[in-house]
Amino acid sequence: MKKWGFLLTIVVCIIFVVVTRAPIFQEKLDIQIYDKNSKYKLDYKASDSEKKLKITNEQIYQGNLLLVNNHYPVHQEYIKSDIVNLFNHKELTKGYGLFNNNIKLSEDIAHKFSEMIAAAKKDWISHFLITSGYRDFDEQSRLYNKMSPDYALPAGHSEHNLGLSLDVGSTQMKMDKAPEGKWLEKNAWKYGFILRYPKDKTNITGIQYEPWHIRYVGLPHSAIMQEENLTLEEYLDYLKKEKNISASVNGKKYTVSYYPVSQSITINVPVNHYYEISGNNMGGVIVTVYE
């Protein structure tokens, strides 16, 4: 009896460990594409109403979905306005280290990154280090002059000039081999981040594989890009082609609409639903409604 009691205790302990280490985030993704020939309509309740919203050309150059590369530069007046020095904000750096005392980032993105790092810690992954964040144009110019064009872009043409991107390392080893790099590649999308320059898409991004460079785009965009294996370039083309799509992520429903903007236009947005608007930096805007 003692032997059976001992074995039962071991089984209970194993079950406890497995359950407590199971990820909280449930990976449920269902993407639906609306029929292009039908009138697009969000799944509103009868009591919901819409309001008209004016979209101007300036909106094209603002938001979390901007494409920034050699062809599409950052517009300085629309850089994230909440850039902070993380070294001076210890509350934002819990669970990870900083390469030096001059790492800057959007405060909003820093909060989102901290949430992701807290989730990684539950999976026993905890040796993260931010090596670079926001760079102003002068810093980017100095870096570009030192490095190969394959690994650095001219001032104004780097995502680091936006405040939405950061380079993440491991204190243990290089990111392409580190548990931290593997965890981010598998899980970053759940928290709105993407691996911006994947190994098999260098012909599309124009940048060599960078397992350390992540970019915030937000949900559901990161989930759709993960599911469809799309880079940001491919995703923006996908939205431009489809015009309207819907997605369900972890039980939450989203609708995403693309609008070309050659001059000021007026669109309808729901009154009783939260929505976000982002430009693509190429002549259009994306409206994301959270149902």
What does the pLDDT read at residue 35?
Answer: 53
Q: pLDDT digit of tens for each residue in the chain (291 aa)?
A: 444 454 444 444 433 333 333 333 456 677 776 655 444 444 545 446 888 999 999 999 999 999 999 999 999 898 988 999 999 999 999 899 999 999 999 999 999 999 999 999 999 999 999 999 999 988 888 888 888 676 778 888 999 999 999 999 999 999 999 999 999 999 999 999 999 999 999 999 989 899 999 999 999 999 999 999 999 999 999 999 999 999 999 888 999 999 999 888 999 888 888 999 999 999 999 999 998
The residues that are catalytic are 210
Residue 136: Cβ-neighbour burial (10 angstroms; 0-12, 13-18, 19+): middle
What does the pLDDT read at residue 46?
Answer: 43
Describe the crossing of helices 232-242 and 221-228 by its angle, rounded to 10 degrees. 100
Spell 196-211 as b/e; 16+ CB within 10 A means b. bbbeebeeebebeebb
The structure tokens 């491919």 sit at 234
What does the pLDDT read at residue 17?
Answer: 37
Domains of the chain (ranges plus CATH)?
A: 26-65+224-291 (3.30.200.180), 74-216 (3.30.1380.10)
pTM of the predicted protein model = 0.85
